[in-house]
Amino acid sequence: MEFKSNTPIYLQVIEDIKSRILSGEIKPGDKLPSSRELAVQYDINPNTAARIYSEMERMGLSYTKRGIGTFVAETTDTLDSMKEEALHKVLSEFFDAMKSMGYDEASMVSELKKFISKK
């Protein structure tokens, strides 16, 4: 994974794990690698990796079973809110780009419909 070196690494990895959960590559209830394994996987500092799990737990994305490991949260509401957040991001990027090209709301919708019909 390519990192931006001027923004916190832990946040970038959390974003990546989130997108892997959304795409279904990682499923709710799945066991996540140990923090050392995570560090090796992403080529990051082991302390940063440990912080990723504590932040994810705080965000309700994962939970720890003592002595067993870290697991992806099984509650569907965190998954739903993640989906919503990702959807909002995609739509707002689309909206801003279209607006800057001079499309009004009606033509944005019609262009999107035209695009979908060709798919």
Partner 1 sequence: MKVQCNNLTKRYYTKTAVDHINLTFEPGHIYALLGPNGSGKSTLMKMISGLTTQNDGEILFDGEKQTWRNKGDVAYAPTEAFFFSYMTIKNVAEYYDDFFADFDRTLFQKLLQEMDLREEMKIKSLSSGMLAKMKIAVTLSRRAKMILLDEPLNGIDLMSRDAIIKTIIGYAPEDGCVVISSHMVEELEKTVDYAIFMREGSIAYETDVEELREKETKSIVDKYREIYSGEVA
Name the site residues for partner 1 (rule: CB under 8 A): 3, 5-10, 36, 39-40, 42-48, 51
Phi, psi of 34 (to 5 degrees): -65, 160
Nearer to partner 1, 3 or 103 (CB): 3
Q: How far is the CB of 93 from partner 1 (least distance, A)?
A: 21
Nearer to partner 1, 8 or 110 (CB): 8
Q: How far is the CB of 22 from partner 1 (least distance, A)?
A: 24
In sequence order, what DSSP letters do the residues of 7-50 get, joined into one string? S-HHHHHHHHHHHHHHTTSS-TTPEEPPHHHHHHHHT--HHHHH
Q: Name the one residue in this structure whose structure tokens are 């001027």.
A: 6
Nearer to partner 1, 18 or 51 (CB): 51
Nearer to partner 1, 45 or 75 (CB): 45
Q: How far is the CB of 99 from partner 1 (least distance, A)?
A: 27
Closest CA to 43 of 72, 61, 16, 62: 16
Residue 103 DSSP SS3: coil
Mention every residue, 6+ apart, whose C-beta is less than 8 A from residue 78: 59, 60, 61
Q: How far is the CB of 7 from partner 1 (least distance, A)?
A: 6
